[in-house]
């Protein structure tokens, strides 16, 4: 890629897309193409093809997707499979038709079978049954990997896929109805701290910025602010599943690194991107608690699903290609909370 290459970042406003934009800008790329979903709905094939014909991107980062935590995945199953399949089909096919030089497709570690051996190696794809709570999303993501692979095999298209672990960073989704585990824990602790300090106006502002506070949590906050009993922070599941977390700017660096330095023949079907280290959700909650400096009791709501018991990536392949993460979890959570706190304060 040259500094003036035409680069389309699909999904530029999201957690991943916005980080890819920041990384491209800081590396001197100036000719970036972006469209929000209200201007270009990538589920619409003819609109997508028209856009590619008009704007002629040379490089594409495909980070547009319908994304959510376990509750959203488990509730909006039809939307998760339909949106992600159509976005992938339309962007990948339009990229082929308009002669895109290279495309990088963002997948997810949800593609691996629920009971695959750990750590998860790339070769475990399609070797077992998927985790049911995110099967629709995973099937769409597997289809996208295969699209990239088959366009490479049939047409020689330089389309590569990456499978990141759980990500966090600026522009994450903190809506408690749809978000992932780490933003949910961080926001719940922050809101409890505000309630403890009697800062009702800031709780209100936070809700305006990051989405409404569900009724049960609102009640817990109200109890907490008037120091009545029954005010533990309720977190979903047992706290025992193990997860791995990567700061999103590390992922964006890895994507740019692969886009610039490695061809499809070197990356193979796809490449895992993560830290290779995991921890329990309970340990994660303790790190967040320490960072926010708020010593609340945690109550685990075991009626809520845990999801896959363990999801740790084997990152040997990306390391052998010459990349490794730089931001450790505690530093990442510190930067994450800093960003969140500033935004929450308005």
Q: Which residues bind ligand NAP (CB under 6 A)?
A: 11-17, 36-37, 40-43, 63-67, 83, 87, 106, 108, 164, 166-167, 173, 180
Does 155 participate in catalysis according to the annotation? no
- Nearest Cα to 336, choosing from 198, 133, 140, 186? 186
Indicate the residue among 239 and 274 with the shorter CB distance to ligand NAP.
274
Complex with ligand NAP: residue 133 or 173, whichever CB lies closer: 173
Q: Which is nearer to ligand NAP, 11 or 241 (CB)?
A: 11
Shortest gap between Cβ of 161 and ligand NAP (angstroms)? Answer: 10
What gap in Å lies between CA 187 and CA 208, rounded to an integer? 13
- Locate 199 and state its tokens: 């800062």
Q: How far is the CB of 83 from ligand NAP (least distance, A)?
A: 6
CA distance 288 to 183: 10
Q: Is 65 or 184 the residue whose CB approaches ligand NAP more closely?
A: 65
User: If you count them, how many residues does the chain have?
Assistant: 346
Crossing angle (nearest 10°) for helices 329-344 and 281-292 = 50
CA–CA dist 299, 238 (Å, integer): 9
CB of 248 to ligand NAP, least distance (A): 8
Min separation Cβ 338 and ligand NAP, Å? 19
Q: Which residue is nearest to ligand NAP (CB)?
A: 14
Minimum CB separation from ligand NAP for residue 10, in Å?
6
Give whole-number Cα distances, 50 to 5, 17, 88, 97, 318, in Å.
20, 22, 16, 11, 35
**Residue 17 or 239: which CB sits closer to ligand NAP?**
17
Q: Annotated catalytic residue: which of 8, 96, 112, 137? A: 137
Q: Are residues 5 and 32 in contact, defined by beta-carbon separation less than 8 angstroms?
A: no
| Buried-exposed string 20-56: b where 16+ CB fall within 10 A, e elsewhere | bbbbbeeeebebbbbbebeebbbbeeebbeebbeeee
Name the token pair of 174: 């903190």
Q: How far is the CB of 302 from ligand NAP (least distance, A)?
A: 24
Distance CA 185, CA 242 (A): 15
d(CA 119, CA 303): 28
Q: How far apart are CA 204 and CA 183, in angstroms?
A: 18
Q: Are 321 and 267 in contact (CB under 8 A)?
A: yes
Closest contact distance (angstroms) between CB of 195 and ligand NAP is 27
- In this structure, are residues 304 and 205 in contact, taking their beta carbons and an 8 Å threshold? no
The backbone region for 268, taken as left when phi is positive above 0, alpha when psi lies in -120 to 50, beta otherwise, is left
Catalytic residues: 137
């Amino acid at each position: 890629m040259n500094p003036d290459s035409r680069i389309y970042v699909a999904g530029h406003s999201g957690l991943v897309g916005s980080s890819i934009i920041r990384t491209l800008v800081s590396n001197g790329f100036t000719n970036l193409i972006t469209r929000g979903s209200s201007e270009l709905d990538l589920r619409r094939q003819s609109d997508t093809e028209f856009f590619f014909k008009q704007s002629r991107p040379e490089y594409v980062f495909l980070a547009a997707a319908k994304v959510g935590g376990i509750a959203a995945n488990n509730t909006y199953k039809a939307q998760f499979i339909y949106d992600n399949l159509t976005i992938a089909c339309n962007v990948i096919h339009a990229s082929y038709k308009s002669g895109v030089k290279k495309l990088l497709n963002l997948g997810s570690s949800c593609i691996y079978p629920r009971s695959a051996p750990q750590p998860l190696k790339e070769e475990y794809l399609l070797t077992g049954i998927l985790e049911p709570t995110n099967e629709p999303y995973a099937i769409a993501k597997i289809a996208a990997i295969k699209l990239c692979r088959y366009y490479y095999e049939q047409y020689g298209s330089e389309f590569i896929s990456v499978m990141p672990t759980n990500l966090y960073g600026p522009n994450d989704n903190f809506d408690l109805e749809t978000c992932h585990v780490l933003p949910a824990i961080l926001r719940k602790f922050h809101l409890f701290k505000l309630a403890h300090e009697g800062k009702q106006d800031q709780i209100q502002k936070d809700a305006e910025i990051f989405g409404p506070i569900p009724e049960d949590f609102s009640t817990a906050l109200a109890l907490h602010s008037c120091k009545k009993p029954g005010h533990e922070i309720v977190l979903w599941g047992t706290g025992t599943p193990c997860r791995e977390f990567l700061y999103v700017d590390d992922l964006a660096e890895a994507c740019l690194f692969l886009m610039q330095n490695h061809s499809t023949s070197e990356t193979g079907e796809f490449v895992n991107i993560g830290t290779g280290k995991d921890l329990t959700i309970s340990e994660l909650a303790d790190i967040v608690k320490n960072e926010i400096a708020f010593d609340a009791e945690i109550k685990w709501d075991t009626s809520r699903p845990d999801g896959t018991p363990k999801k740790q990536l084997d990152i040997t392949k990306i390391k052998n290609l010459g990349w490794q993460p730089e931001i450790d979890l505690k530093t990442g959570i510190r930067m994450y909370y800093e960003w969140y706190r500033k935004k929450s304060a308005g």
